[in-house]
Amino acid sequence: MARGVPVQPAQRARVIDLIKLEHGRNAIALEVGISTAAVSRIAKAAGLSFKKAQTAAATEVRRIDRAATRADIIDRMYKRSQKILTRLEADEFTYRLATATGSDTVSDAAAPPGDEKNLASAIGIYMDKATRLELVDSDAGESGARSMLADLGQMLGLVDTPPA
């Protein structure tokens, strides 16, 4: 698909046949081994066009695939946040401490302040990003985000009562 490489007559004929069979521009370019721009030029010169319905269907499939990917990422972010929060709230917090000879495993009643701050920040980042991703596919909009953030604030002990 290098620029300046002329399209062979057999390629041109194949492109026209595939357009008439309602194949998409990208699929034709891939099959014939030419650029999508060349496919478009051949279609225009032959007075042919690509079916808008097929393009719309492909766009819808891509939108649905992306929504499913976002849903998976959101779910994983919530699970990661929950895992970190469970670790912070555990009766015993276990971590590694660097020593002159390597490291030791230490267990305390609570996470060291620096670790707690870092883990709480991670939770906040995951929740913020998950909320932003949810808004892409949600009609709930701002009220849904506020509700989720209020719940998170309560869970983290930052808010005493839910807002009215």
pLDDT tens across 68-109, in order? 999 999 999 999 999 999 999 999 999 888 999 999 999 999
Structural contact between residues 43 and 28, judged by C-beta atoms closer than 8 angstroms: no
Backbone dihedral angles phi then psi of residue 162, each to the nearest 5 degrees: -70, 145
- What is the distance between the terminal CA atoms of the chain, rounded to a whole angstrom? 61
Q: Are residues 90 and 150 in the same domain?
A: yes
Q: Global pTM?
A: 0.51
Across the chain, mean pLDDT equals 85
Does residue 3 fall inside a structural domain? no
Structural contact between residues 137 and 70, judged by C-beta atoms closer than 8 angstroms: yes
Structural contact between residues 154 and 162, judged by C-beta atoms closer than 8 angstroms: yes
Does residue 142 fall inside a structural domain? yes
Residue 2 has what pLDDT? 54
Q: Are residues 44 and 90 in the same domain?
A: no
Say which DSSP state 158 is in.
S
Does residue 139 fall inside a structural domain? yes
| Nearest-angstrom CA–CA distance, 47 and 70 | 40
**C-alpha torsion sign, points 125, 131, 132, 134:** positive
Please give the tally of structural domains in the chain.
Answer: 2
pLDDT at residue 1 greater than cutoff 70: no
pLDDT at residue 162 greater than cutoff 60: no
Q: Are residues 72 and 111 in the same domain?
A: yes
Domain holding 92, by residue range, is: 64-155
pLDDT at residue 23 greater than cutoff 60: yes
Q: Are residues 75 and 126 in the same domain?
A: yes
Q: Are residues 25 and 73 in the same domain?
A: no
Crossing angle of the two packed helices 141-155 and 113-137, in degrees rounded to 10: 160
Q: Are residues 77 and 131 in the same domain?
A: yes
Does residue 43 fall inside a structural domain? yes
pLDDT, average across residues 147-160: 68
